[in-house]
């Protein structure tokens, strides 16, 4: 960077608030949410929403449980006006939902705005003008007094227009736009001047929306500004302090969280943070952050895929794969140590009865937002044996014994190195199948019979005599053997007649699926006298046959 360029910038001044209390507070309840997707979000789109798309978004927002929705800037365009009319005329606004309309503090725009809401039961009329030092100087070329007069005139006009619509209950919102770039004493003065006109009471409060129209400083400064404002208001109980943060520094969520701790009661934002420039605050992230702290966000986010789907279609913007809570990859671990920890954490969660979600690397249970576990672990060259074992278990039902994980993990690792890409689950299963289940050379089982069996309660005197037909290449050999059980008898027969010495080191089995057609999977590790170990896997409806197949699978792998 040009070292001179930095001289164009200066630090944002600190707020003089030595007794600040917000850092010791916590968010314990959900704020009132107001979606501004249809207005602030919409005005920032390359192609603003058509009426149909607005209707689709409105439906989604009401389904999610938003009770306040800024539906547009009706005086700005025909679509905006018609959309507001459609909602009212077609009775599409649920009884418990308030629509909100935005207008500048300009006479013709205010009058047009009221025309757009004729016949509505209840509406929030939202009026704004910029108050920042910079905009006063460069955009409006007005001093403080003149800017206050502009806001007051606008507010008076609201009161005047309201008389023409006796069938509608009006609530009001005033935004000193660019609040964070405004001297605090001036922001307070202009808000109080508007309150003077609107005469809110504690039963009919004025929404004072204090926006970070542009995010100019660190999130703690926004919180300081909000706390300062709340502390210094003369009629605090007659106002609802609303937050409206933009994300220029990437901190809108943090800024809003801190500002809620500082006294904010209401939040305006959008789904996934769509909005001017870097966007508005992302309400989905904010709400799910609350949820993962045990606070009911009072929004239904249980089908996040629907939210993504509607958003991407209506806004024609993609969700980043790493977008908090919603991105395609956010419930996925590729790296070995993460997979191992998730695998262990999920297993522990399934057996624990604390009811608390405590899985390493996953701050939220994906199923709470309608995502499945299936994609939690994906396999590439960064992956480890734990992740491979997880896939085999969760997707295919094979619970490999822990001692077997390194062996199959290495086989998969070699494959990912060779392919140089992520492996699909079915490719991992194919590797498992060809390594353990379908490798039939040199040995495979053609027939098996238990000729005689004695079962002793103490197991010490149990015995079995078996006969087996083993295919070795083209040849089929019949072997017989004795042992303390059918598996032991089969191993003796193999050792004596075909392979020579080997030792059975580990044995594990489990049912693969339930019901009368249940099949069993057996896992056997053998060791040759020269010290070479290998695992084999067998599957059959008969557990003994499954274990015998597992022995042959291990012997086949040895070659």
Ligand X SMILES: CC(C)C(=O)C(=O)O
Is the Cβ–Cβ distance between 220 and 258 less than 8 Å?
A: yes
CB of 103 vs ligand X, minimal distance in Å: 10
Output 213 or 339, the one with its CB closest to ligand X.
213
Q: Which region holds residue 91: left if phi is over 0, alpha if psi is between -120 and 50, else beta?
A: left
Strand 239-245 with 206-212, pairing: parallel
Q: Which residues, 269 to 308, sit near ligand ACO by CB under 6 A?
A: 276
175 binds, among ligand X, ligand ACO, none (CB under 5 to 8 A by kind): ligand X
Alpha helices in 460-542 (DSSP H): 486-494
Is residue 242 within the footprint of ligand ACO (CB under 6 A)? no
Q: Alpha-carbon Rg of the chain, whole angstroms?
A: 34
CB of 178 vs ligand X, minimal distance in Å: 6
Residue among 207, 209, 211, 203 nearest 172 (CA):
207
CB of 100 vs ligand ACO, minimal distance in Å: 13
Contacting residue, 42, 103, 131, 209, with ligand X by CB under 6 A? 209
- Using alpha carbons only, what angle is made at residue 425 by residues 423 and 431, rounded to the nearest 5 degrees? 75
First and final C-alpha spacing in the chain: 62
Is residue 140 within the footprint of ligand ACO (CB under 6 A)? yes
CA-to-CA dists, residue 453 to 470, 487, 520, angstroms: 21, 12, 21
Is residue 106 within the footprint of ligand ACO (CB under 6 A)? yes
Is residue 73 within the footprint of ligand ACO (CB under 6 A)? yes
Output 214 or 504, the one with its CB closest to ligand X.
214
Contacting residue, 30, 33, 37, 40, with ligand ACO by CB under 6 A? 40
76 binds, among ligand ACO, ligand X, none (CB under 5 to 8 A by kind): ligand ACO
- Enter the tokens of residue 426: 């079915």
Is residue 104 within the footprint of ligand ACO (CB under 6 A)? yes
Output 105 or 346, the one with its CB closest to ligand ACO.
105
Is residue 274 within the footprint of ligand X (CB under 6 A)? no
- Enter the tokens of residue 234: 């003369």
Does 244 count as an annotated binding residue? Answer: yes
CA-to-CA dists, residue 434 to 180, 301, 345, 414, 431, angstroms: 64, 42, 30, 15, 5
Contacting residue, 37, 40, 80, 227, with ligand X by CB under 6 A? 40
**Contacts with ligand X, 230-249, as mask; x by CB under 6 A:** --------------x-x---
**For tokens 């809401």, what's the residue?**
117
DSSP H or E segment with residue 307: helix 304-315
CB of 97 vs ligand X, minimal distance in Å: 20
Residues in the chain: 559
Is the Cβ–Cβ distance between 229 and 210 less than 8 Å?
A: yes
Stretch that binds ligand ACO, among 19-27, 72-80, 466-474, 484-492 (CB under 6 A): 72-80
- Using alpha carbons only, what angle is made at residue 238 by residues 269 and 143, rounded to the nearest 5 degrees? 75
140 binds, among ligand X, ligand ACO, none (CB under 5 to 8 A by kind): ligand ACO
Q: What's the burial of 117, exposed, middle or buried (CB within 10 Å: 0-12/13-18/19+)? A: buried
Contacting residue, 35, 113, 182, 213, with ligand ACO by CB under 6 A? 213
Is residue 175 within the footprint of ligand X (CB under 6 A)? yes
- Enter the tokens of residue 73: 């800037």
Stretch that binds ligand X, among 180-188, 205-213, 334-342, 346-354 (CB under 6 A): 205-213
Output 211 or 384, the one with its CB closest to ligand X.
211
Is residue 181 within the footprint of ligand X (CB under 6 A)? no
Q: Which residue is nearest to ligand ACO (CB)?
A: 76
Q: Please state the three-class secondary structure of 496-510 as a single string.
A: HHHHCCCEEEEEEEE
Stretch that binds ligand X, among 113-121, 209-217, 402-410, 530-538 (CB under 6 A): 209-217
477 binds, among ligand X, ligand ACO, none (CB under 5 to 8 A by kind): none
Is residue 123 within the footprint of ligand ACO (CB under 6 A)? no
Does 280 count as an annotated binding residue? Answer: yes
DSSP H or E segment with residue 124: strand 122-130
**Peptide bond just before 442 cis, omega within 30 deg:** yes
Is the Cβ–Cβ distance between 172 and 133 less than 8 Å?
A: no
**Residues in binding contact with ligand ACO, number by CB under 6 A:** 17
209 binds, among ligand ACO, ligand X, none (CB under 5 to 8 A by kind): ligand X
User: Could you give the strand order of the β-sheet that contains 475-483, starting from the edge strand earlier in sequence?
Assistant: 443-454, 463-472, 475-483
Contacting residue, 31, 41, 181, 211, with ligand X by CB under 6 A? 211
DSSP helix/strand/coil, 91: coil
Angle at which helices 486-494 and 543-558 cross, to 10°? 30
Is residue 75 within the footprint of ligand X (CB under 6 A)? no
User: CA 345, CA 263: separation in Å to the nearest integer?
Assistant: 37
Annotated binding site for Mg(2+): 40, 244, 246, 280
Q: Interface residues with ligand X (CB under 6 A)?
A: 40, 102, 128, 175, 177, 209, 211, 213, 244, 246
Q: Interface residues with ligand ACO (CB under 6 A)?
A: 40, 43, 73, 75-76, 104-106, 109, 128-129, 139-140, 150, 177, 213, 276
């Amino acid at each position: 960077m040009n070292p001179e360029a930095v001289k164009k910038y200066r630090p944002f001044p600190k707020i003089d608030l030595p007794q600040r209390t917000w850092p010791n507070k916590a968010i314990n309840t959900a704020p009132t949410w107001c979606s501004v997707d249809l207005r602030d979000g919409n005005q920032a789109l390359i192609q603003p929403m058509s009426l149909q798309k607005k209707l689709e978004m409105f439906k989604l927002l009401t389904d999610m449980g938003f009770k306040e929705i800024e539906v547009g800037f009706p005086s700005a365009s025909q679509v905006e006006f018609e959309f507001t009319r459609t909602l009212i005329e077609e009775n599409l606004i649920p009884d418990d939902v308030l629509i909100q309309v935005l207008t500048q503090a300009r006479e013709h725009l205010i009058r047009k705005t009221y025309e757009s809401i004729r016949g509505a039961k209840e509406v929030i009329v939202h009026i704004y003008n910029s108050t920042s030092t910079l905009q006063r100087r460069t955009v409006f070329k007005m001093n403080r007094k003149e800017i206050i007069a502009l806001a007051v005139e606008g507010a008076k006009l609201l009161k005047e227009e309201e008389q023409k619509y006796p069938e509608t209950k009006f609530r009001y919102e005033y935004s000193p736009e660019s609040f964070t770039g405004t001297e605090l004493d001036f922001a307070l003065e202009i808000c109080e001047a508007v309150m003077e006109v609107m005469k809110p009471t504690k039963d009919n409060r004025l929404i004072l929306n204090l926006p970070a129209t542009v995010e100019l400083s660190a999130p703690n400064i926004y919180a300081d500004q909000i706390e300062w404002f709340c502390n210094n208001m003369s009629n605090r109980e007659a106002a609802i302090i609303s937050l409206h943060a933009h994300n220029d520094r990437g901190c809108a969520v943090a800024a809003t969280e801190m500002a809620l701790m500082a006294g904010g009661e209401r939040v305006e934002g959008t789904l996934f943070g769509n909005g001017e420039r870097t966007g508005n605050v992302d309400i989905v992230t904010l709400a799910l952050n609350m949820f993962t702290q045990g606070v009911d966000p009072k929004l239904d986010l249980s089908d996040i895929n629907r939210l993504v789907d509607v958003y991407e279609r209506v806004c024609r913007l993609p969700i980043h794969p790493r977008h908090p809570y919603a991105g395609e990859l956010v419930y996925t671990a590729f790296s070995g140590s993460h997979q191992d920890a998730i695998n262990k954490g999920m297993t522990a969660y399934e057996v624990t009865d604390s009811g608390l979600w405590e899985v390493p690397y996953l701050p939220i249970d994906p199923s709470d937002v309608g995502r499945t576990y299936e994609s939690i672990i994906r396999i590439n060259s960064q992956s480890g044996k734990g992740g491979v074992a997880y896939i085999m278990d969760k997707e295919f039902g094979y619970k490999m014994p822990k001692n077997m994980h390194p062996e199959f993990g290495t086989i998969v690792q070699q494959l990912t190195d060779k392919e140089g890409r992520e492996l699909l689950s079915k490719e991992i299963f194919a590797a498992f199948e060809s390594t353990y289940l379908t490798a039939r050379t040199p040995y495979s089982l053609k027939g098996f019979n238990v000729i005689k069996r004695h079962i002793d309660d103490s197991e010490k005197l149990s015995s079995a005599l078996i006969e087996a037909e083993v295919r070795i290449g083209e040849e089929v050999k019949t072997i017989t053997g004795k042992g303390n059980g059918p598996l032991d008898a089969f191993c003796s027969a193999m050792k004596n007649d075909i392979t020579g010495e080997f030792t059975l080191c580990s044995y594990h089995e489990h049912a693969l699926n339930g019901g009368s057609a249940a099949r069993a999977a057996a896992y056997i590790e053998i060791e040759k006298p020269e010290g070479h170990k290998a695992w084999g896997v067998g599957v059959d409806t008969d557990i003994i046959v499954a274990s015998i197949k597992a022995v042959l699978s291990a012997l086949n792998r040895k070659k």
